[in-house]
Amino acid sequence: MSRAATVMMPPAPNREDIGATWEYLQAGISKIMINLQDGMDMGTYMGIYTAVHNFCTSQKAVGLSQAGSGAAHRGAHLLGEDLYKKLIDYLNDHLADLLEQSKAHAEEALLTFYIREWDRYTTAAKYIHHLFRYLNRHWVKREMDEGKKGTHDVYTLHLVQWRTQLFEKVSEKVMSAVLMLVEKQRNGETIEHGQIKQVVDSFVSLGLDEHDSSKSTLDVYRYHFERPFLEATSEFYAAESTQFVAENSVVEYMKKAESRLNEEEERVRMYLHQDIATPLKKACNKALIADHSTLLRDEFQILLDNNREDDMKRMYNLLNRIPDGLDPLRQKFETHVRNAGLAAVSKVASDAEKLEPKVYVDALLGVHTQYQGLVKRAFNDEPEFTRSLDNACREFVNRNEICKAGSNRSPELLAKYTDVLLRKSGSGVEESDLDAVLTQIMTVFKYIEDKDVFQKFYSRMLARRLVHSTSTSDDAETSMISKLKEACGFEYTNKLQRMFQDMQISKDLNQGFKDHSKQLSEKQPLDSTYSILGTSFWPLAPPNTTFNPPAEVQDDLNRFTRFYKNKHDGRKLTWLWQLCKGEVKTGYCKSQKTPYTFQVSVYQMAILLLFNDKDVHSYEDIASITQLTPDALDGALGILVKAKVLLQKPDSAKPGAGQTYHLNYDFKNKKIRINLNIGTKSEAKQEEVETNKTIEEDRKLVLQSAIVRIMKARKKMKHNVLVGETISQIKGRFVPKVGDIKKCIEILLDKEYLERLDDDELGYLA
């Protein structure tokens, strides 16, 4: 078959015959534009390419008489422009025909037509662009270099003409068909979403920069696709959500909204352009969430009251999508947790004085644990919800029904519970679980405002545990101090750590005393140990009674005192009799083959040893020999009488003058070792009073030192500014009252640390 018959092309024209050349080119372009699927042989392809070259370089055809290089340049320029214009005219005619054909289609049929013709047109444009490479490289490039607007490479020219001659006239109908398909899908119908993706891609491809055709923009896509798509989406969901809310519960609506939002995200992944993701999310959030946010928030309290965790998580995820959507929820959550904490405390606060520390702390922890879990699971551990939880816990830990009995009650009870945990056989908590329980203690400690109160009670109780060797383990004690140090710093735990050092030094000292006694061959009547406690580190006061220790005890004391002063000359020893204890064995009970061992205080020991000499002693004799004050003597005797170790005559409720005490030879007890060293409630109460008193005194000193420290650094400050700065520095230790700060300022003025200046200003006096 001849070449002409195969490609249905006229013969290659003479390069000087412009009319024939364009006729030849037009036939080739039509072949590509309309019948490319039939193929094109290499001869025809090269013929068209050559014809474009000849057309652009022909000189005689322009009819110019000038000769020379200038004429040649001008001729090529004119021929390039002529060819470019003829190509535009051809494309306009082709697109006008397509526009006419499009009028016969609607809805999905129009989409099918538009996509088919777009694919055919852009494929042809790539071929034609290649065939017109000579025009692109020379004439088009020169025009663009000279800044001529409206000149593009051949492929871009195809897109520009499509946009102006066809797209702008059919885009609304095409977009209407797209929106109809999307609405069908939203209503549950199955659609051919590939068509929409092809339309989206075509809209994006038409985004050409007017000033630089080598660059593309999304302007066409945003105006013709994104804008109407978002408007239609907002309208659809506004109508649907309004109707759904009217007919269903809020919880069901949240499930519906959640489902719709997921569908839209999937829609972006399937066939929309990624650029629409953010504005589409914003539009959906407004229609589905923001417009119904009041309704959702009103439901939150019901979900909280009924512990509907999954629904709260759903509500959190929805409202988290809109600006400030969660603020009202956080406020309601904080109020709810505070009320739950107050209710939990009220439930256990029937008798504030008899309240067990464990019961109180467990009530606080129970509320915190419950709502901390809720924050983690339902609110994604969000910092702002955690802050609301912290604010609520701080309120009900420091200001509740128990705290009405005294502002120091929470830290005091927490310290007492910690003491129970760290004492041997105190809590029943396994040592392996103890660290986890101490971590929970620190959770409550974190919320306590008066941390100095906890420190004061804790240090006194730690002192007793160390002196009496009743700690569960040194590891547990060290772990707790480490946790406190991490929470409050080195200064907070410095004295606590020094107490441990003193106990270790005391162990070494006792071993040295024993070795010293062996070297001197001194017989020790007592198996004694001594604890040397630094006055400035231990929260212990001297005994509040005089005391004459038994001779056996005094002899051993004298030996130890000589040994100690020989090692540390110049140090003064003050004996803390109220903390001393010992064991005495009995040999007088008639019915007991194995002697009893009494664990007693040193005061009880002094009383019992008197009965080695005779079986009966009067109250006055005991008081005279022991030199104990009535309070101390009555307490020691009362326990011995109550345990029936001694018999009191005449029998009365309390020991006192005129009574005599007999050794009970018929004493019986199921235990062999009997602890008689039991503190009375009045002693415990007195210790609490003394502790609280020292807290107030310590606070005055802390405030004064803070004020001096601030003024030393600043030299001059307004009175109110100084008060505010003092609160800021001290609040980590306790929450100071403004009145107390003002009193301390007055004290420092009197002591001439500060001076008054003009205009309510204070100055520092070096």
Q: What confidence tens digit (pLDDT) does each residue in 486-521 have?
A: 998 888 889 899 998 989 899 999 888 888 888 776
3-state SS assignment for residue 716 = strand
Cβ-based neighbours of 619, under 8 Å, separated by 6 or more: 633, 637, 655, 656, 657, 658, 659, 660, 661
Confidence of residue 32 (pLDDT cuts 50, 70, 90): confident
Predicted pLDDT of residue 544: 86
Distance CA 130, CA 172 (A): 32
Directed axis angle between helix 451-467 and helix 490-519, to 10°? Answer: 10
Predicted pLDDT of residue 67: 38
Distance CA 391, CA 446 (A): 11
Confidence of residue 17 (pLDDT cuts 50, 70, 90): low
In the predicted model, is pLDDT for residue 525 greater than 60? yes
Tell the burial category of 460 from Cβ atoms under 10 Å away from its Cβ (0-12, 13-18, 19+). Answer: buried
For the ranges 8-17, 406-415, 474-483, 504-513, the lowest mean pLDDT is seen at 8-17
Confidence of residue 68 (pLDDT cuts 50, 70, 90): very low
Q: Are 599 and 674 in contact (CB under 8 A)?
A: yes
More confident residue, 194 or 67: 194
List b or e across 582-596, with b for residues whose CB sees 16 or more CB atoms inside 10 angstroms.
Answer: bebebeebeeeeeeb
Confidence of residue 74 (pLDDT cuts 50, 70, 90): very low
Write out the two tokens for 759. 């205009």
Distance CA 766, CA 476 (A): 46
Predicted pLDDT of residue 5: 31
Average pLDDT over residues 597-618: 92
Q: Are 576 and 540 in contact (CB under 8 A)?
A: yes
Average pLDDT over residues 252-280: 93
For the ranges 428-432, 600-604, 655-659, 699-703, the lowest mean pLDDT is seen at 428-432
Confidence of residue 39 (pLDDT cuts 50, 70, 90): low
Q: Are 364 and 397 in contact (CB under 8 A)?
A: yes
Distance CA 547, CA 554 (A): 11
Confidence of residue 18 (pLDDT cuts 50, 70, 90): low
Is the backbone peptide bond immediately before 736 cis, with ω within 30 degrees of 0? no
Q: What pLDDT digit, counting tens, does each position of 107-153 carry?
A: 889 999 999 999 989 888 898 888 888 888 888 888 787 777 777 88
The one-character DSSP state at 617 is E
**What does the radius of gyration of the chain's CA atoms come to, in whole angstroms?**
49
For the ranges 62-66, 104-108, 174-178, the lowest mean pLDDT is seen at 62-66
Distance CA 120, CA 36 (A): 8
Tell how far CA 382 is from the center of its chain: 6
In the predicted model, is pLDDT for residue 536 greater than 90? no
User: Residue 163 to residues 140, 172, 374, 591, 627: CA-CA distances in angstroms?
Assistant: 20, 13, 56, 118, 114
Q: Which of 156, 166, 150, 157 is nearest to 118 (CA)?
A: 166
Which residue segments constitute the domains of the chain, with CATH numbers given? 3-217 (1.20.1310.10), 235-303 (1.20.1310.10), 326-405 (1.20.1310.10), 506-570 (no CATH), 580-679 (3.30.230.130), 685-764 (1.10.10.10)
Tell the burial category of 442 from Cβ atoms under 10 Å away from its Cβ (0-12, 13-18, 19+). Answer: middle
For the ranges 300-314, 386-400, 565-579, the lowest mean pLDDT is seen at 565-579
Distance CA 604, CA 511 (A): 27
- Residue at 356: amino acid letter: E
Predicted pLDDT of residue 78: 62
Predicted pLDDT of residue 86: 86
Q: What is the mean pLDDT of the chain?
A: 86
More confident residue, 147 or 162: 162
Confidence of residue 370 (pLDDT cuts 50, 70, 90): very high
Cβ-based neighbours of 481, under 8 Å, separated by 6 or more: 493, 496, 497, 500
Tell how far CA 734 is from the center of its chain: 25
Q: Which of 95, 235, 85, 233 is nearest to 161 (CA)?
A: 95
Listing DSSP states for 78-126 in one string gives HHHHHHHHHHHHHHHHHHHHHHHHHTT--HHHHHHHHHHHHHHHHHHHH
Q: Are 483 and 438 in contact (CB under 8 A)?
A: yes
User: Residue 106 to residues 100, 111, 173, 683: CA-CA distances in angstroms?
Assistant: 13, 8, 8, 98
Q: What pLDDT digit, counting tens, does each position of 691-723 carry?
A: 777 888 888 888 889 999 998 888 888 888 899
Q: How far apart are the first and last CA of the chain?
A: 117
